[in-house]
Amino acid sequence: MKTTGVLVLAVTLTVASRRHVAWDGMVLGVGGSKIRGEVEMVAGKVAGTTAVEVSYARDAAGAVRPWHVHVGSCAKGGPVLGAASAYPVLRVDAKGAAEGKATLRLALPDSGSYYVNIHESAAAMSKIVACGDLLLEE
Ligand SMILES: [Cu+2]
């Protein structure tokens, strides 16, 4: 019986340390862009990593868009979360849709404020075409 108790405790601790935390948000066009989509940020498959997925529609076919999750909010701005190089550019398809994934070398945050933004182009990083604040879902 003692062994069973230890086992139950071990299982309970394992489950407790794997809280299902996810960050979700809507991606919405800024300044006349009609972009509409979603972003999700969850723990990566490898411990200590974070996986981000973004997908959206209603953009200009053929556009190539840099994007990142940033610390802060669409309203206030803030620095890129992780390395900017971890976010492969989005390539908008013929129907105006795009999707991308990034793996960040940091553990999924369980607090703070984050947002995703889509930049006009590598040559016009300061122009934001879409943005979305992330909300913590537990
Ligand atoms: Cu950015």
Taking a 5 Å cut-off on Cβ, the residues next to ion ligand 1 are 68, 117
Q: How far is the CA of 47 from the centre of ligand 1 (A)?
A: 25
Task: Identify the domain containing residue 104 by its residue range.
Answer: 20-137
**128/76 Cα distance (integer angstroms):** 13
Q: Global pTM?
A: 0.85
Q: How far is the CA of 15 from the centre of ligand 1 (A)?
A: 34
User: Do the Cβ atoms of 40 and 64 come closer than 8 Å?
Assistant: no
Evaluate if residue 9 carries a pLDDT over 60. no
43, part of any domain? yes
Q: How far is the CA of 119 from the centre of ligand 1 (A)?
A: 6
**120/26 Cα distance (integer angstroms):** 18
Evaluate if residue 63 carries a pLDDT over 60. yes
Give the residue, 28 or 4, on which the prediction is more confident: 28
Neighbour tally for 23: CB within 10 Å:
23
40, part of any domain? yes
**33/46 Cα distance (integer angstroms):** 36
125, part of any domain? yes
- Across the chain, what does the average pLDDT equal? 91
**pLDDT tens digits, residue range 37-59?**
999 999 999 999 999 999 999 99
**pLDDT score recorded for residue 13:** 47
Q: What is the CATH number of the domain that holds 130?
A: 2.60.40.200
Q: How far is the CA of 78 from the centre of ligand 1 (A)?
A: 9
| Rg over CA atoms, the chain | 18
72, part of any domain? yes
Structural domain total, the chain: 1
104, part of any domain? yes
Reported as a pLDDT band with limits 50, 70 and 90, residue 26 is very high
